Amino acid sequence: MEVLPGTIMYFRTNYDDRSSGTSSTKAELIINGTLKADSCNFTRKEASGYWSGIKFSSTASSSSHILGCVLYYGVTGIYIDQADPTISDNVISGNDSYGIYVTGSGAWPVITNNYIGGDDYAVYIYATSSGGHYGHDSFKDATYGLFLANGSPVFEGESNGYNFWDSSITNKRVYVYNGYLELGTAEDPGNNSFTKGSDNTKDYIYNATGTTVYARSCYFYDCPTPDTDWFYGSVDRANKLGSAPDAGPDFDIPKITNTPMRQYVEIKRALANGATFSHAKALTTLVVENIDSEFAARPLDLLLGNLSKEEGQKVINNVGKYDKMHDAVRFALDQWQVRYDSQKGIPDEALLNRYQGTAFEKAMALTFAAGLASNGQKEKAIEVLTKANQDTDPLILASLIEGLDHPESLPAGKEEATPAEKQSVEVSAFPNPFNSESRIQFKLAQKGLATITVYNMLGQKVIELVNGERSAGTHIVTWSGRNQAGLQVPTGVYFCQINAGGARQTLKIFMLR
């Protein structure tokens, strides 16, 4: 599983999506294989409560990583069970019980350069002869910073150490219940740094075992001589540092890489929440600066979907001048050009021929055929669709051809309502045809209850995308081509219907896998 930069993953708290009702079961991301997450955000969907968190099972790949991410509001932020992922450069905070929990035999995760917090424990280790490697981490916002129930984690040496225990910890900075802990030895200095709490809490290291905890070459803020009141049990703290080392992460909270994907997602979210479109310049910059990447097709679609035909044509002309562009960007430009041309007549067949034999052939054929059909060229439209879909299931092809006949309304059995005088609605979608997802934009004249439902060619309900009160103005919802049960629907023609205050509009959508 790969989570792209800029992605925000929301998880439900106390909710069961299968029954659409409350549940004591919280959402959880379980990794049995490989997770690669870079510069993304994992958090709860609701305004309160906690989701379970991310769990690496014993079968998780050692190549898994979470890098430069933000993880908020889990019961346990990250749970590692006999796995070896790399957890680095993250903010793991606001968690109900544990920031990171490490357990099992042979668990050697690499946990470096993170801010880690949990209401009870920042890091809790209950492992067998293992526990992980830690370096330049900050333990904060917890009752206990590090609680070692069992294990032998590494907090020292050239590659580790330099960890920081923050003054926001309200009880023990380090509590060793069982196991073996070295925070610094003569051979491998720790360079770890401890501060006391704002309430003058002095329990830096509490050792309840019968063995010695080694904490040589560490810094203990404002620690007097003798310092017996500040430690419990056998703690070797020789060679105490006289000044604070450069401990803790090398970045200030929050660390959220402002990647192009994140900029795109933030604009998309703002528009979905009803913001006035004022992002043409920012989206154009994202397209131009990433024009050799497949990603640029996303902001391009978002840009053209919010511009008038005249403004959109200018963008197509300007962006089209660039020589080096990704095939997906070129396809998006040509697909929009076909749509524009279809509004005034027959689209240019050269744009269709350009994609013969390519991965985009079927999608362009469907766009082109829709343009031909809208201009009364039904036979030509069928010819184009058939030629591009020779390896397509005949039933699917028949569905696509039948869709060319339908107006922007549902098949028989779903009557259209006459719009009420006080309410009017508008709906559009792009890309359309689409492959992975289509962005459905709807506009309400006034505040009120609105529903958006997707139906198939038989008039059967596929999924309800919106059901609730919405403010006046423009809103956006995304459909990924899945039904209410979360299963992928087949290639074909679908109808997106919006109902609000007695007004109803229906939009035909082509989905092509």
pLDDT digits (tens, 9 = 90+) for 252-294: 765 555 678 778 877 877 776 677 888 999 999 999 999 988 8
- Compute the radius of gyration of the chain from its Cα atoms: 29
Per-residue confidence (pLDDT) for residue 23, from 0 to 100 = 44
Three-state DSSP class for residue 409 = coil
In the prediction, which pLDDT does 490 show? 80
Q: What are phi and psi of 228, to 5 degrees?
A: -60, -30
Higher pLDDT: 237 or 493? It is 237
Greater model confidence, 395 or 113: 113
- Residues 331, 364: contact at Cβ < 8 Å? yes
Which tokens hold the place of 491? 């290639």
* Range of weakest confidence among 18-22, 218-222, 478-482: 18-22
The region of weakest confidence among 27-41, 76-90, 457-471 is 457-471
**Tokens 């010819």 — which residue?**
383
Percent of the residues in the chain that have a pLDDT greater than 90, as a whole number: 35
408 or 239, greater pLDDT:
239
Q: Which residue has the tokens 């070797």?
A: 236
Instruction: Assign 349 to helix, strand or coil.
Output: helix
pLDDT at 496 over 90: no
What b/e readout covers 269-308, taking b as 16+ CB neighbours within 10 angstroms? eebeeeeeeebeeebbebbeebbeeebbbbbbbbbbbbbe
Q: Tell me the pLDDT band of 414, cut-offs 50, 70 and 90.
A: very low
- Residue 2 pLDDT more than 60? yes
Candidate from 52-56, 92-96, 257-261, 468-472 with smallest mean pLDDT: 257-261
What value does the mean pLDDT of the chain take?
83
What is the per-residue pLDDT for 100? 97
Contact 132, 109 (CB under 8 A): yes
For the segment 490-508, the average pLDDT, to the nearest whole number, is 81
Torsion sign (Cα): 114, 115, 118, 121? positive
The answer on pLDDT for 328 being more than 70 is yes
Q: Which of 99, 19, 31, 101 has the alpha carbon at shortest distance from 61? A: 31
> What's the pLDDT score for residue 417?
43
Residue 331 has pLDDT above 90, yes or no: no
Q: Please determine, for residue 372, whether its predicted confidence score (pLDDT) is greater than 90.
A: no
Distance separating alpha carbons of residues 496 and 467, to the nearest angstrom = 13
Question: Which pLDDT score, from 0 to 100, does residue 200 have?
Answer: 61
Q: How far is CA 461 from the centre of its chain?
A: 28
Compute the distance between CA of residue 27 and CA of residue 18 in angstroms, rounded to an integer: 12
Check: pTM over 0.75? Answer yes or no: no
Q: What percent of the chain has pLDDT over 70?
A: 89
The per-residue pLDDT for range 110-169, each reduced to its tens digit, is 999 999 999 999 999 999 878 999 999 999 999 999 999 999 999 987 778 999 999 899
| Span of 249-258, 293-302, 401-410 with lowest mean pLDDT | 401-410
Cα separation, 371 vs 176, in Å, equals: 71
pLDDT at 198: 63
In which band, very low, low, confident or very high, does the pLDDT at 301 lie, cut at 50, 70 and 90?
Answer: confident
**Using an 8 Å Cβ cutoff, are 94 and 75 in contact?**
no
The pLDDT value recorded for residue 257 is 57
Nearest to 15 by CA among 55, 56, 50: 50
Burial class (CB in 10 A: 0-12, 13-18, 19+), 503: buried
Domain ranges of the chain: 1-95, 97-250, 260-405, 425-511
pLDDT given at position 147: 96
Q: What is the pLDDT of residue 494?
A: 84
Cis? peptide before 431, omega within 30° of 0: yes
29 vs 11: CA distance, rounded Å: 9
Alpha-carbon separation of residue 414 from 110, 321, 506 (angstroms): 58, 46, 10
> Is pLDDT above 60 for 409?
no
- Cβ distance 124 to 102 under 8 Å? yes
pLDDT in the model for residue 252: 75
**SS3 for 298?**
helix
Q: State the pLDDT confidence band at 428, using cuts at 50, 70 and 90.
A: confident
* Residue 512 pLDDT > 80: no
Q: How far apart are CA 166 and CA 117, in angstroms?
A: 10
For residue 177, which phi and psi values (nearest 5 degrees)? -85, -40
Looking at domain 425-511, its CATH architecture is: Sandwich (2.60)
Judged against a pLDDT cut of 50, whether residue 10 lies above it is answered with yes
Q: Residue 475's pLDDT is what?
A: 81
Assess whether pLDDT exceeds 60 at residue 465. yes
